[in-house]
């Protein structure tokens, strides 16, 4: 049996029959089997938008070679390694917990938020009544912040093939569409994620792991660099090793860790607002037509680097999605984006943010605690504007010209819009840079200036990064590890999952030596 890779150009609405016919024609054979290895949309010419599909074909008539083997994550099994406490059920937490449990640890995973069903119910109530829940919101709960997102599975991190394959295969076993293994820009959609995170939890429990929801880590007891006990809202534990994956919103957890001697440094991050347009406008700007058969919705990724400005870029673009009230605390007001798998909503949204260095922005050396204070104050400022969860908004053209909107606008945001001078509410260097960036984006995408800009986008990444030693331990500690977005070493579902896996593998190595 032989093997050959080929690349095809096919129309966006190709059928299975057309795909097989194209493979047969290019290979000159009729009998074969195949797998799709990669698939990306080529939209460089609006008159000829098509799929580029790499096929791995298998047939007797093909050259006698085999496909290159894919790297596999090899998890060693330890004999009685002890107990592990994992904090946080986002991608870093759940994949780290799965690896530790497979290696033989008795693993307890705690999550400060609720199970996904209760979480979804609380969010629905919040969006209809404005009543905020501390355990069921967009930031905290089963699956982490990513459960209520677009579920993007892209990552620019290199040399992560084995870990990424482990994550993708786990998601597919849990019900994700197989296409996530080959699409160039795969995504799960929040509707899929709500079921997937439950199945990942059950896989962990079937391996013997234990998970407790609505259980918050409140303190760590340290003796000579070793965690000897963990206090939670459900009682105390004395694990042999602790892996904390708190996400980027758990500010009180950061403060507790800093008080216990965990070392952090400030790092660059980004802040800004969300931009929103009718999806058909984005489709027309990108494709030259309001819809494209075989493709869900058009995406964009925009950057601007203007003189005397901070770098500005779009982030977490959600085609056919909604802007959501993603605050983690009752006295703050922030926004994020979310899409379902079909991406068939009326609107497109994305973060429009400026990269900031707090030392430069504030003109002094900023400590980790000062960084948390500064960010928290900004998030509270957006809540205090109306003392509600309406999103302060302006039109994009109005933001550029510093003019308030004369009336409200159609939006996907569920709690309503509040006309506001966003350019004054954001730090001046940020709003100045965003205004110039929005001008650039308006030249790149036809009709871009007709959209709206709303809310505070402050959770693109953590403003802090923990210091790790060569074995991934928190510097100065024997058995304490931080992973995922909350550690400052990753961002997004894939890179956070990879960081959780690699940290768990480091724990296994450190335990086995």
Q: To the nearest whole number, what is the mean pLDDT of the chain?
A: 96
* Token couple for 86: 């994992």
* pLDDT at 489 > cutoff 80: yes
Q: What is the pLDDT of residues 223-272, one digit of tens each?
A: 999 999 999 999 999 999 999 999 999 999 999 999 999 999 999 999 99
pTM confidence score: 0.96
The DSSP 8-state label assigned to residue 135 in this structure reads S
- What kind and span of H or E run contains 315? strand 312-318
Mean pLDDT for the stretch of residues 397-407: 95
Q: Is residue 423 pLDDT above 70, yes or no?
A: yes
Structure tokens at 310: 């901070």
Angle at 113 between CA 111 and CA 118, to 5 degrees: 125
Say how many Å lie between the first and final Cα of the chain, rounded. 44
Closest CA to 83 of 241, 222, 212: 241
Structure tokens at 367: 């400590």
Tokens describing residue 470: 């060569």
Q: Quote the pLDDT of residue 361.
A: 96
Instruction: Kindly tell me if the per-residue pLDDT of 141 is higher than 80.
Output: yes
- Sheet containing 217-223: order of strands: 217-223, 226-232, 235-237
Query: How far apart, in Å, are the Cα atoms of 465 and each of 61, 354, 483?
Result: 55, 19, 10
Does 513 have pLDDT greater than 70? no
Q: Average pLDDT of 313-332?
A: 96
Among the listed ranges 16-25, 66-75, 475-484, which one has the minimum average pLDDT value? 66-75
Q: What is the mean pLDDT of residues 427-453?
A: 97
| pLDDT above 90 (res 157) | no
pLDDT bracket for residue 282 (50, 70, 90): very high
- pLDDT > 90? residue 500: yes
Contact criterion met (CB below 8 Å) for 221 and 231 = yes
Per-residue model confidence (pLDDT) at position 475: 98
Please give the pLDDT value at position 64. 87
| Among 375, 371, 341, CA closest to 359 | 371
Domains of the chain by start residue, with CATH: 2-59 (3.30.70.2700), 83-265+464-512 (3.50.50.60), 269-457 (no CATH)
Mean pLDDT on 82-98: 98
Residue 212 pLDDT more than 80?
Answer: yes
């Amino acid at each position: 049996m032989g093997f050959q890779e080929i690349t095809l150009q096919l129309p966006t609405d190709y059928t299975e029959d057309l795909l097989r016919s194209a493979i047969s024609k290019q290979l000159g054979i009729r009998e074969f089997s195949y797998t799709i290895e990669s698939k990306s949309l080529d939209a460089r010419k609006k008159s000829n938008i098509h799929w580029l599909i790499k096929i791995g074909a298998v047939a007797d008539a093909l050259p006698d070679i085999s496909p290159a083997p894919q790297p596999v994550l090899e998890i060693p099994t330890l004999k009685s390694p002890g107990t592990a406490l994992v904090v946080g059920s986002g991608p870093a937490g759940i994949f780290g917990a799965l690896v530790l449990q497979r290696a033989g640890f008795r693993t307890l995973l705690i999550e400060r938020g609720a199970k996904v069903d209760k979480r979804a119910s609380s969010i629905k109530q919040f969006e209809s009544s404005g009543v905020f829940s501390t355990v069921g919101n967009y930031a905290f709960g089963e699956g982490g912040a990513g459960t209520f997102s677009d579920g993007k599975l892209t990552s620019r991190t290199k040399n992560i093939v084995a870990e990424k394959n482990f994550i993708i295969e786990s998601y597919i076993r849990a019900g994700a569409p197989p296409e996530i293994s080959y699409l160039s820009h795969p995504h799960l959609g929040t509707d899929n994620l709500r079921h997937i995170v439950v199945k990942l939890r059950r896989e962990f429990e079937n391996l013997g792991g234990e998970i407790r929801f609505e259980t918050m880590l409140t303190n760590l007891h340290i003796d000579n660099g070793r965690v000897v006990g963990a206090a939670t809202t459900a009682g105390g534990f004395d694990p042999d090793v602790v892996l904390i994956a708190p996400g980027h919103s758990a500010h009180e957890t950061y403060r507790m860790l800093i008080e216990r001697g965990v070392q952090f440094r400030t790092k660059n991050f980004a802040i800004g607002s969300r931009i929103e347009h009718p999806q058909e406008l984005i489709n027309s700007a990108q494709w030259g037509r309001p819809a494209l058969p075989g493709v869900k919705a058009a995406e964009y990724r925009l950057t601007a680097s203007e003189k005397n400005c901070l770098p500005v870029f779009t982030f977490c673009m959600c085609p056919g999605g909604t802007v959501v009230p993603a605050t983690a605390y009752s006295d703050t007001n922030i926004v994020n984006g979310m899409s379902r798998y079909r991406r068939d909503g009326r609107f497109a949204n994305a973060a429009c943010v400026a990269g900031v260095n707090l030392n430069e922005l504030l003109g002094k050396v900023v400590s980790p605690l000062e960084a948390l204070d500064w960010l928290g104050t900004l998030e509270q400022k957006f809540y205090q504007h109306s003392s509600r969860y309406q999103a302060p908004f302006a039109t994009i053209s109005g933001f550029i010209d510093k003019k308030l909107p004369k009336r409200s606008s159609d939006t996907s945001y569920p709690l309503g819009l509040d006309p506001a001078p966003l350019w004054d509410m954001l730090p001046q260097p940020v709003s100045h840079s965003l205004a110039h960036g929005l001008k650039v984006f308006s030249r790149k995408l036809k009709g871009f200036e007709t959209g709206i800009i709303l809310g505070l986008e402050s959770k693109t990444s953590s403003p802090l990064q923990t210091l790790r030693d060569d074995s991934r331990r928190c510097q100065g500690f024997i058995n304490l590890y931080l992973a995922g977005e909350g550690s400052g070493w990753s961002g997004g579902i894939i890179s956070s999952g990879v960081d959780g896996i690699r940290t768990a593998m480091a724990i296994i190595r450190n335990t086995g030596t």
